[in-house]
Amino acid sequence: MKQIIGYFVILCSIPLLLLVGNEVWKELAKAKQYEQSIVQSIELPEVASSTLPITMYDANNELFSEEYSEWSQPLPLNEIPEIVKQIFLTSEDEHFYNHIGFDVSAIARAFLANTTDQSIQQGGSTITQQLVRMRYLTTEKTYERKLMELFYAHELEQMLSKDQILELYLNEMYFSNQVYGIGGAATYYFDRPLSQLSLAETTFIAAIPNNPSLYDPLKNFENTKSRQERLIDQLAEHNIISQSEATTHKNEIIELNVKSKMQQYPSYSTYVLQELRWLIAKQTGYPEKIAVTTDKMEKEYLQLEMEKEIDAILQQGVHVYTALQPEKQVQDEAAINFILKRSELQASATVIDNETREIISIFGGKDYKKHDLHRAFQSPRQPASAFKPISVYAPYFETTTATKNAIVSGSKYCVGIFCPENYGGRVYGNVTIETAFKHSFNTSALRLFNKIGVDTAFSYIDQFQFNSITDKDRTYAASLGGLTYGVTTLEMADAYSSFIDGFYEPVRSIRKVTNLEGETIYSWSREQKAIWSNNTVNTMRDLLNEVVRSGTGEGLYSTSGYIGAKTGTTNHFKDYWVAGLTNDYTAAVWIGYDTPRSMEKIEKAKIHFSIFNAITD
């Protein structure tokens, strides 16, 4: 008797609840407080709830890496087969094209069902309500949230057409395993576009969103298959297919072909992701604002805002076309890993194509895995004498009339309290600049640096991309590569590329970035500027070559017809460097331990020479 009375009360209350009930009006008033933000959200239907992939292509336009935390491939409604729409309309919302966002009769049935066990289980939700729940609300099962859902659904129906709502719904549903949208589900579970799936395969993936955990085909295949068969039966009940067709489709064997994420060349793709963020940041204008802001809190705020804007752009999905030469990347990685295989040593290396000034190969560390420390651009180390061509010699020749045969002393020398020693504490008399350069005399380099001055030297250093060099580094120690944090092999190869012909443009891995429609939305400007005169370039190339012929670089070689390089060894043998160029490539190599310690015992092995030879040959 009590249950009958309960049904009667509920039936009488439903119209009142939906139309004039105090609770409804209370919730509507509450919702009106957020109406402006709600409308703004609804006015942006193109913003999907999932993150679209970032796909990377090599120099041959071949896909080599996909970056995504969620897999999604949105499709316009006209590219979604009609049978797919019918599957969801018949199973989720028969009256979709007739209601105003919610179905009063469905809600009434849900109220009756829910009263039976005194809990909220059956929702009576339309497709519009489900879309609202995915986009704007939580999935908690309370009457308060349900009422808010009705308001949102009605508002959404005022803003968008039925077809627009259905398109968004089909593209934003969750298909388990971080897969969103029917198009993404097709390519993820069958590795084929939706248009190429059979009806059995289509209904199979259509079974998943009803309960993505229960119907996860990778864990609960039989559950998914059972619901697929119910969906096929519904199609037959609505005369969309015949009973015999339904039987045939239910008997079709389902063979999954789950997509594996393309993740080749992690050293290269990891760097590309960082360069992509730099490229987008440059377009936002935030870096300039951050640079001129002196307030620390303001800098942090602007940095956060910039990162949010970059993330929002990347979530829309982009295609990134790069300069990667896959065969060279494979060859270089294999060679360096082989050289280091019996050692705890780490290494980084960067190779630039001299003709295009592009990064064609990069090595982030031994046996590099995705998200490891990328030593080629994330781990600056002291460059020692490898820095001298940039900090001392090229600026000296550029600002004086001296030649490589000019005389400089190699005797003891101090500037204030800075009194460096030559290797092994040796003291030399007057020598040519060529001799001082190829044997890396520290006292001679400091004398030349002092002649041109710190400001003049840094007027050249600052033109390159040394991101870790700060104002604190504007000291005499910089002449010998003594820096607060140091530099990376990427930065060194970038700077040395100016010795190709005296012109400089920052080296890049990215050629262009397009949106999903193939339109170019970002690309680096390709403007070269003259840094060194022809005389300076020729002199520096001669000096670098002499290092290899009869100086500290003996053991380096190239079959290209030219090689020039400068070596570097920091105090206590904690870092070994080679930076230089051949006719084909410009490269920089660093070896050492992540936690610095002496490598004096392996000095004669010249491991960094072997790496440089391998990647520039």
- List, for residues 453-496, the tens digit of each pLDDT value: 999 999 999 999 999 999 999 999 999 999 999 999 999 999 99
Q: What is the SS3 assignment for 152-187?
A: HHHHHHHHCCHHHHHHHHHHHCECCCCEECHHHHHH
Residue 19 is classified by DSSP as I
Share of the chain above pLDDT 90, in %: 70
Q: Is the pLDDT of residue 441 over 80?
A: yes
pLDDT at 200: 96
Running DSSP on this structure, what letter comes out for residue 508? B
Between 47 and 573, the more confident residue is: 573
| Ramachandran angles phi, psi of 58, nearest 5° | -85, -175
The pLDDT assigned to 139 comes to 52
CA 206 and chain centroid, separation: 31
| Partner residues linked to 420 by β-bridges | none
User: Which has the minimum average pLDDT: 47-61, 79-93, 239-253?
Assistant: 47-61
Tens digit of each residue's pLDDT (9 = 90 or more) over 418-439: 999 999 899 999 999 999 999 9
**Cα–Cα distance, 531 to 101 (Å, whole number):** 65
SS3 565: strand
What's the chain's length in residues? 617
Candidate list 125, 176, 385, 498, residue with the active-site label: 385
d(CA 172, CA 220): 22
Least confident residue range of 221-225, 355-359, 370-374: 370-374
**Residue 57 pLDDT > 60, yes or no?**
yes
For 62, the token pair is: 């071949």
Alpha-carbon gap, residue 180 to 63, rounded angstroms: 22
Q: Using CA atoms in the order 211, 214, 219, 225, what is the torsion angle rounded to 10 degrees?
A: -80
What is the spatial distance between Cα 170 and Cα 172, in angstroms, rounded to a whole number?
6
Which segments of 341-479 does DSSP mark as H helices, in order?
375-378, 388, 394-399, 433-438, 442-452, 454-461
Distance, in Å, from the CA atom of 466 to the CA atom of 469, rounded to the nearest integer, reads: 6
Q: Which residues pair with 240 in a beta bridge?
A: none
Token pair of 172 as six digits: 């934003």
Alpha-carbon distance of 12 to 24, in angstroms, equals 15
- Alpha-carbon distances, residue 91 vs 113, 164, 451, 501 (angstroms): 18, 19, 83, 68
**In terms of DSSP bridges, do strands 510-514 and 520-522 run parallel, antiparallel, or are they unpaired?**
antiparallel
* E-only strand ranges, 200-291: none
pLDDT, mean of residues 122-127? 68
Q: How far is CA 136 from CA 37, 51, 209, in A?
A: 11, 16, 18
Q: Report helix, strand or coil for 431.
A: strand
Residue 393's pLDDT band, with cuts at 50, 70 and 90, is: very high
Residue 137 has pLDDT above 70, yes or no: no
**Residue 262, pLDDT score:** 87
Residue 193, C-beta contacts closer than 8 angstroms, at least 6 positions apart:
183, 186, 187
Cα–Cα distance between 171 and 77 in angstroms, integer? 9
Residue type, 599: M
Using DSSP's 3-state secondary structure scheme, residue 462 falls into: coil
Joined tokens for residue 168: 């968004």
- Where in 469-611 does DSSP place strands (E)? 503-504, 510-514, 520-522, 529-530, 563-569, 575-582, 585-592
For residue 322, the 8-state DSSP code is E
Q: Which of 66, 92, 309, 505 is catalytic?
A: 92
Q: Is 385 a catalytic residue?
A: yes
d(CA 394, CA 531): 10
Mean pLDDT in residue range 508-515: 97
Residue 45 has pLDDT above 50, yes or no: no
- Residue that wins the pLDDT comparison between 92 and 411: 411
- At residue 116, the pLDDT reads 46
As a whole number of angstroms, the distance between CA 120 and CA 126 comes to 16
* Of 363, 614, 574, 401, the residue nearest 489 (C-alpha): 363
Q: Tell me the pLDDT band of 316, cut-offs 50, 70 and 90.
A: confident
- Nearest 10 degrees: Cα torsion 569, 571, 574, 576: 0
- Which phi and psi (to 5°) does residue 157 adopt? -65, -25
212 touches 180 (CB < 8 A): no
Instruction: Give, in order, the Cα–Cα distances in Å from 499 to each of 168, 390, 611.
Output: 54, 10, 21
Please state whether beta strands 179-180 and 71-72 pair in parallel, antiparallel, or not at all (unpaired): parallel
CA end-to-end span of the chain, whole Å? 92
Asked if residue 281 has pLDDT above 60, the reply is: yes
Query: Does residue 598 have an active-site annotation?
Result: no
How far apart CA 224 and CA 211 sit, in angstroms, is 10
Structure tokens at 467: 């991101």
Cross-strand bridge partners of residue 404: none
Give the model's pLDDT for residue 20: 42
pTM equals 0.77
Q: What value does the mean pLDDT take over residues 266-291? A: 93
Q: What average pLDDT does range 212-218 have in this prediction?
A: 94
Give the containing element (helix H, strand E) for 67. strand 63-67
Could you say which DSSP state residue 548 is in? Answer: H
- Are the beta carbons of 178 and 70 closer than 8 angstroms? yes
